[in-house]
Amino acid sequence: MPFFICPNCKERSLDHDGRQGLLDQAVSCQRCGFGFLFELLDDYYPSPNTGLVACDRDGRILASGRGVFELTGFNEADLMGKNVVEVFGLAGFEPDRNPIGLALEWGVRRLGEQIELRSRAGNVKRVTADVFPAYDDDGGLLVALSPRRAS
């Protein structure tokens, strides 16, 4: 059974009554009213300071959640339509091992990727990225970015 997660408030829900109308009717968040839920194959529990970003099949940002601004300094208007790897300056992965690209190309989850992002102010932050390919045929990705404590 698929699970849904709200990219904005991270509320999780099951697909119980979300699709009772038209087959492709958008499901909106029952908690915050956000008009888009991301469908996951497996349940996922983001941490309280995780920021979620939903992307299309080309890695362009469709929605960014509340935690993203705190983590990156970018607000949603800064991010819409931008490539998620470029706008966040994602780095720290091995060449050709970009977890976003791998998830898009192969449709596989990438969990616990230890990477770096560049905040709007230009600071490099160490983050853990969990990347989920979309469950449906539209493609796309959900990218969960969580701050890592300096070690």
Q: Given the rule CB under 5 A, which residues bind Zn ion?
A: 6, 8-9, 11, 29, 31-32, 34
Q: How far is the CB of 52 from Zn ion (least distance, A)?
A: 10
Helix ranges, 50-98 (H): 66-72, 76-79, 84-87
Specify the residue, 51 or 99, whose C-beta has the smaller distance to Zn ion.
51
Strand duo 51-55 + 141-147: pairing: antiparallel
CA atoms of 48 and 111, how far apart (whole Å): 17
Strand duo 61-64 + 51-55: pairing: antiparallel
Specify the residue, 2 or 32, whose C-beta has the smaller distance to Zn ion.
32
Q: How far is the CB of 34 from Zn ion (least distance, A)?
A: 4
Specify the residue, 6 or 141, whose C-beta has the smaller distance to Zn ion.
6
Q: How far is the CB of 55 from Zn ion (least distance, A)?
A: 18
Residue 105: both structure tokens together: 């190309």
